[in-house]
Every structure is written in structure tokens, then in C-alpha cells.
Structure 1
Amino acid sequence: IYYDTQVQFFRDIEGMVTPVIDMKSLLSELDQHGIYSIARMVVFKDPVVAEGRPDLAVRDEVTGGLWRDMNGAPWVNAFNEELWVANGELGAELGNLGFDEVQYDYIRFPSDGDLTTADFGSDYSEAGRRAAITGAVSVGSELIRATGAQFAIDLFPIVALLGDDQGIGQTMQDLTPLVDVVCLMIYPSHFITGNIPVDGHPNDYPAETVSYTLERAEELVPGTIKKMRPWLQDFTYPLEGYAEYGPAEVRAQIDAAEAMGVSGWLLWNAAGEFQVEALSPE
């Protein structure tokens, strides 16, 4: 957390709070320029809390220590209601500071790593996972929206395509009614052949991938397109054989999303290096 939060849960964890940003000054400057401000919160992939409060972390049944994903990162346990409240309080604080929107990312169970050794200490069935994620989002929704801020969540697009929770606790059916904005993370490079009806890998079909995913989401939860503001791919996936994503591929995704009637869109590039040539002057 890069500002001086007053949420005691996070202040109590050593190394959690690094107050390098004057948030009020930043928000004032954004307001002066008419910029819509979004506070993105990484909820359950939280190594600092996992290591600072191991009692709240996913445990490894084999080692007895912290379970870690394929990149070596520990996760906190989404079944723990203390985390639901702490993150909701942090989101509410951000809303009260003046952010226009609070966005929950990693609001899910882990999707990679050796999940056979992960001990969640609770009902790790689909029903149990869905109840936990819905519970966390419900708490966040109540606390954050009470401040007047919009509440958004990031979702894997596969849950729109297939309709179940895909092992991570997210479903559009459960979560869409609880939020103001749904951000499906529609990165064509992250799909696999067969996810959508195209002749080849979805990475080669940026517009079709976006259109089909949004169509499926609307079929699954009618009216959701009005809340939809998808993440779109503004990067080239770094594996041999994957087509490069330049301005044309980025623009194709934007046009496809806008044609579906979404409320807006977001571009993702982990390095923050965006292709402005893909954007309209306005």
C-alpha cells in the first residue's frame, strides 16, 4: 500500500504500508484535469499479508508452510472473512479519499501452481468457492458503494464462456448484480484453441475474440453489457509463434468492444507502455 492508510489491519502488518504517495494531492491534480480515477486493489494474491499473517494464508499440506503459486507467490485464503472486511475497509477508505472507482483485482482463488497440495481449511467445492468470493464481493460492495464510489471487479473471461467457476470461485451470475462495473480480462493470447469458434488460435483473431466473449457474457447474464468495461490486450505475448500486437490489433479489439455497446474499455500493458496510435484523438 503506497499511501498512509489508516486501516488498522494493514498498518499492523510490517512492511505493508509504504507511504510514498500523497494521495489527496494526487487526486486533486487528477480532478483538475478531469481524469476519472480508479484505485486498483489486488485482493487475494497478497504476499505481504500472507507472510505477515500466515494464519490467513493458504497452507501447503506437504511442507506445512505457505503454499505458493507457479511464480512462487503465496496467497491469502479467500475463505477468511477477516480479509473480506479488511479489504472492504481499505476500498471504502479509497472511496472516501475521493477515488471515482475502486476496482478489485485477483478477487478469486489461485488458478495455477500445484493446487493438490493447497490447504484452504474449508469447503473447497465449487459451491464453497463461489460462496467465499461472493461473500468478499458483497462486503466490498456494501462498504465501497456507501462512499459514493463505483465498485468494479476483474473477472477471468473463461467464466463468461463456460458459465461455471473454473476452480477460482468467480461466476458472472453471482457477481454481476453486486457491482457497478464488470471488467472481463479479454486477452486473446491467454485463450486456448477451441475457446472461441475461429479457425486457429484466438490470438490471431483479436476482434472476434472480444466480440464472442462479450456476446457470451450477455447471453449468460442479460443486461450485463451495460456494466461491462473489458480489459483489452495492448502487449505481445512473449512466446514463439504468437502474432505481434501492434496498433491495428489493439484498435480491432476496441472497435469490437464498442460495437457491442460496452460502457468503456481498459488497456493492459504490464510495463505501462501503450500504443497511442491505436487511440482516437478524442
Structure 2
Amino acid sequence: MLLDDHLVLFIKYNINLFIAIINSIHDKFRGVRMQRNKRFAIIAVILVLIAAAGVFIYKGSWVFKSSPKVADEEPAKSQDPQPTEEPEIEQPLPTPIEPEPKVPEHKEVRGIYLTGHSVGLESRFSHLIDLINTTELNAMVIDVKDDNGEISYKSSVPLVKELETDKTVKIKDIKAVIQRLDENYIYPIARIVVFKDNIAATQKPEFAIKSKDGSVWRDYKKVAWINPYIKEAWEYPISIAEEAADMGFKEIQFDYVRFPTDGNRSLIDYGEAGTDRTMSQSISEFLSYARERLSKKGVVVSADIYGLVTTVKDDMGIGQQLEDLSTSVDVLCPMVYPSHYAYGSYGIKYPDLEPYRTVFTSLSTAKQRVEQIQTDKSKAKIRPWLQDFTGAWLRPKSAYKVYKSADVKAQIQAAYDSGLTEWILWNAGNKYTEDALLKE
């Protein structure tokens, strides 16, 4: 720090005054008897007091100049012209970094199907988790949107709220369910029924399949269907699928992704949209569009198809043609339940009685057909649904048998012998033949 310049000048020009004061003090104390050191000390103190008094008189207080970074007084304005400030150049905003799209991770699935009720019932859900943990199973297919058009949990999708399709809550905390599956290394698959939807088709008739008289068409069970030709109607199941992906499901499996098979179909009028493309094109376009949307969320997209689709050449009048579908999804899931084949299929009088032969013929044919497709697009893997139930409705009674461990094992072996590595068991009541499964 430096003394204020004015203070320095003050001292400089009054130095004679200081000298005179010192001499006067010295003379005053000359006759006083005291030690020399004490005399000089008194003189020094008096001098300091005089100096301080002079500064206060001149300036009003002690003033020290510090380095230029601190100044209480406004600096004097320069008389020189101020340089013109250059305008500030607006810097361009940084380009936002797009998050890299998630890559779907395909897993070799050996799974079982669960309804929303089974997931919501703790005792049953825990039992099925234990079944997976102790056997070769590794996946669960869980109803998100079921055959009735109901959503299993409280959804945030606007149209779900409008239609109130989530008012019957089967799964109270879907995120907790996904976390629990993750903790047990169980691959979660969301099953979403698409075009069979009595609730949506009834409340939104503009999306429904219509009769020629303009009314909503219904099948023999009085169920209304969404018209697959109407692209605006696709948003509903896809938005539910996107929500399921956000919840943590690793795969979206679309079921009833077809046109209706029963009911008086001669009464149907698909409208003008039905003249633009075939049924097969419509179903394939829906699945391709859904996969495009969902792949951005890093989920696998699969589709359930009829077992006969694997061996017939056309689309069976329902929009499911094997070659078209094989480039529209990541996984195709033919429902090769022996009980669902017509008598005499594949030269087998009663297919339900010969599960290995029925399943092997269907799957080996499908695998061969897919391999022969000439395309630059990726081709779907095949993962069959297998029968773990008894077709007791078949007549005569000699046309079916009670399915036991050996019958389920025969189907699994048929899948492997066809060159496949994946499969899922279906039982509507979610009761599975544990003895048919290899122990972990």
C-alpha cells in the first residue's frame, strides 16, 4: 500500500514545522530529570499525535491506496475520446446432441403367458417367478391390453382415459412388477391385442369394421373389431405399446393382428380404404410402422400368427401371409397348437394326438420358407407358441388327449429339431406342466 499523494505533499511542505516542534519539545524536557530513553519515547508519542491530527485536519481520515482492483470512489473520467465499442457478436447456440437410438436386444426366449389377474395375484405371481427361477424358463408374456380391450394397469394414454379401458385395474403397480422381473433376470414381454377390440370399436365407430348398412359389424360372439385399413386407428394400440416400452417391457408382442375369421363376413364393408391395398399389405404396413416407432425405444417387436400361416401360400383371408410378415417384425410367433389344426392336416387324422409331428411339420416348413426369402431387409426369427392345455372341446373324444409332460416335451423337441431355439407355452389359466421343464 502507498500513502495518499496529498498526504505526502502535506508532510513534505511542513517538514520545517515538524523540526521546530521537535526542537521545542527537546528544550522543554532538557531540564527535566529523567532517563534519556523515556524522554525520546515521550517525544515520539507527541509527534505521532501531531501527525495524526494534521492528517485529519487535511483529509478527514486516513486514506490508503490499494491496488487498482478495489476503489470506493468513482474513477476520474478521461478527457480523451472513448473508443467505440464493437458490437457483441451473437454466438450460435450449440447444436443439440440427439440421443443415440436404443438398439433392441433380442433374447432367446423360453417363456410362459400370464394374464393381468395372475400378475396382480401375489401368490400366483410369486409361484410363477419361482417356476422360472428353478427351470429353463426365462421370460413372461404379460397382458397389457387383453382380448376384451382392457388395459391391465392405470394408463396415461389419452384415448385409454377417454374410453375408460383401464378402469378395472388388475396390476396396481406395473413399474414394481417390471423391477421385480428385472431383479430375477426375467425377460418381460407386453402382449397387446390389436384389432379385436369390442370397447374401442363400439365407442369409436369411426374406427370400427362396418356392415353394408353402416352399422358396426360384429362377429358371432357379438364382438366389434377395429378396421385394420383405417390408419388413424393404428395410433391407439401403438401408443399403448410405447407406454409399455417406457414402463420397462423389453418386447412388444402384438396379438389379433389380423382381420376377423368368424361371423358373417359377407356383410362387411371395409370402406374406400379397403380398395387401396390388400389385407396382407394392410397388416404388414401396420406392423412395419409399429416397429419403426417402437424400435426407437429399444424394444423388440413380435407378432402372433395362426399356425397354418406357416404352410399355406396365401393370407388365409385374414391378412397374414408369411413372406410379407417376415420382413415387418423382429419375431414371428406362430400358434402351432396341435388342437387347433383341422383333422387331416399334414396327413394326420387327428393332429392333437401327434404333437411332435404336427409341430415339426409346421415349424420346419416355416423356417425353410423364411430362409428362402430374397430381401435386403432383416428377416424375423421364429418363436412358436406351444400347447400346454387340453383340447377337451374336440369331438369325437377320441380326437384329443389330456396333455401331460411328455406331450409338452414333444413339442419343445420338435421346435429344436426344426432348427429353432425359442418357444413359449400357452395356458389360458396360467397353470403350467412343471415336469415338462428342465430344471435350472
- 1:194 is aligned with what amino acid? G
Query: 1:43 & 1:101 partners in 2: Cα distance?
Result: 15
Alignment partner, residue 365 of structure 2? 216
SS at match of 1:134: helix
Alignment partner, residue 404 of structure 2? 246
1:54 to 190, 197, 205: 205
Against the structure 1 CA distance between its residues 170 and 259, is the aligned structure 2 distance closer, same or farther, given a 3 Å change threshold?
same
Against the structure 1 CA distance between its residues 126 and 231, is the aligned structure 2 distance closer, same or farther, given a 3 Å change threshold?
farther
Deviation at 1:123, TM superposition (A): 5.8
1:42 to 186, 193, 213: 193
Number of equivalent positions = 280
Query: 2:240 & 2:206 partners in 1: Cα distance?
Result: 20
String of CA shifts for 1:6-63, please: whole Å, max 9, x gaps. Answer: 222322223455444211111011101111101000000011111111111112335x
1:164 aligned to 2:314?
yes
Against the structure 1 CA distance between its residues 215 and 12, is the aligned structure 2 distance closer, same or farther, given a 3 Å change threshold?
same
Query: 2:155 & 2:353 partners in 1: Cα distance?
Result: 44
- 1:49 is aligned with what amino acid? A
String of CA shifts for 1:116-164, please: whole Å, max 9, x gaps. Answer: 1122214657952112101210111011121111111001121211121
- 1:248 is aligned with what amino acid? A
SS at match of 2:432: coil
Query: 2:163 & 2:413 partners in 1: Cα distance?
Result: 44
CA RMSD of aligned residues (A): 2.1
Against the structure 1 CA distance between its residues 75 and 226, is the aligned structure 2 distance closer, same or farther, given a 3 Å change threshold?
closer
Alignment partner, residue 240 of structure 2? 90
- 2:183 is aligned with what amino acid? Q
Deviation at 1:252, TM superposition (A): 0.5
In our comparison, the structure showing a higher alpha carbon Rg is: 2
- 2:263 is aligned with what amino acid? G
Structure 2 residue ranges without an equivalent (≥5): 1-150, 374-378
1:233 to 380, 387, 390: 387
SS at match of 1:85: helix
Against the structure 1 CA distance between its residues 25 and 144, is the aligned structure 2 distance closer, same or farther, given a 3 Å change threshold?
same
- 1:148 is aligned with what amino acid? G
The farther-off stretch of 242-251 and 114-123 is 114-123
Query: 1:35 & 1:6 partners in 2: Cα distance?
Result: 25
Against the structure 1 CA distance between its residues 83 and 16, is the aligned structure 2 distance closer, same or farther, given a 3 Å change threshold?
farther
1:273 aligned to 2:424?
no
Query: 1:110 & 1:126 partners in 2: Cα distance?
Result: 19
SS at match of 1:141: helix
1:14 aligned to 2:149?
no
Moved segments of 4+, more than 6 Å? 223-226
Amino-acid identity (%):
37
Q: Does the CA contact (< 8 Å) of 2:367 and 2:418 recur in 1?
A: no
